[in-house]
């Protein structure tokens, strides 16, 4: 594809929307935090994107309050 292809997703465009149950949200949050903590510290671009993703999720207290066994 050419770089000027109008069908390409831009760097700030929404590429995908994902609906998650509360339990799924808690797992995604934990996975992102784990990935952030364990990923090579020389990968600043990856860390930046992980922080951007975590910033889109509910706050830490809200995530902690999710009971995976009940889905709430």
Q: How many domains does the chain have?
A: 1
Average pLDDT value for the chain: 88
Determine the 3-state secondary structure of 72 from DSSP: coil
**Position 15 in a domain:** no
**Position 50 in a domain:** yes
**Position 5 in a domain:** no
**Position 54 in a domain:** yes
Question: Could you give the angle at which helices 44-56 and 22-38 cross, rounded to 10 degrees?
Answer: 160
Put simply, whether the predicted model's pTM sits higher than 0.85 gets the answer no
How far is C-alpha 13 from the geometric centre of its chain's CA atoms? Answer: 15
**Position 59 in a domain:** yes
Cβ atoms < 10 Å from Cβ of 69:
6
**Position 44 in a domain:** yes
Q: How confident is the model at residue 22 (pLDDT cuts 50, 70, 90)?
A: very high
**Position 40 in a domain:** yes
**Is the pLDDT higher at 39 or at 33?**
33
**Position 16 in a domain:** no
* pLDDT at position 11: 83
Q: Which domain holds residue 53?
A: 22-64
């Amino acid at each position: 594809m050419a770089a000027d292809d109008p069908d390409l997703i831009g760097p700030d465009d929404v590429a995908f929307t994902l609906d998650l149950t509360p339990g799924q949200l808690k797992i995604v949050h934990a996975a992102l935090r784990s990935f952030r903590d364990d990923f090579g510290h020389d990968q600043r671009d990856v860390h930046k994107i992980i922080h951007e993703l975590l910033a889109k999720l509910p706050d830490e207290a809200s995530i902690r309050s999710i009971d995976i066994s009940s889905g709430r």
